[in-house]
């Protein structure tokens, strides 16, 4: 019997992150590279269907005592997500070179 797979869903904020990221790369690099960058997070998200608990806890949230969220990456980008029942909710897709603490707190915690 095959293992149960989790459903991966992008929140509205994560969809907006992807759109802005692709628009930026298309404008300042090329449309082809923007398409490549779009494909990669979707591949990473699909990989979460099988083993969503493999991601590390984001240090910014861990320092505040939150252990509900995890992260994975495709360099230099971070994907912040939460597993609830058999669903993986992707909340944030962001360039890991940025200081993401305020964005992360605002998006994930609504602060």
pTM: 0.84
Q: For the segment 35-57, what is each residue's pLDDT rounded down to a tens digit?
A: 887 888 778 888 898 888 889 99
Q: Is the pLDDT of residue 109 over 80?
A: no
- What does the buried/exposed string (b/e) look like for 7-29 if buried means 16 or more CB atoms within 10 Å of the residue's CB? ebebbebbeebbeebbeebbeee
Q: What is the average pLDDT score of the chain? A: 85
**Can you tell me the mean pLDDT for 66-84?**
90
Looking up tokens 């979707």 gives 42
Structure tokens at 23: 């628009």
Looking up tokens 């969503």 gives 52
């Amino acid at each position: 019997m095959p293992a149960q797979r989790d459903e991966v869903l992008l929140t509205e904020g994560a969809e907006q992150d992807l759109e802005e990221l692709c628009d930026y790369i298309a404008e300042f690099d090329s449309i082809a590279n923007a398409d490549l960058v779009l494909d990669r997070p979707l591949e990473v998200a699909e990989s979460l269907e099988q083993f969503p608990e493999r991601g590390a806890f984001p240090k910014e949230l861990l320092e505040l005592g939150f252990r509900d969220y995890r992260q994975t990456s495709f360099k230099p980008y971070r994907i912040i997500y939460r597993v609830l029942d058999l669903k993986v909710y992707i909340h944030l897709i962001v360039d890991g070179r940025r200081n993401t603490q305020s964005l992360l707190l605002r998006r994930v915690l609504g602060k």
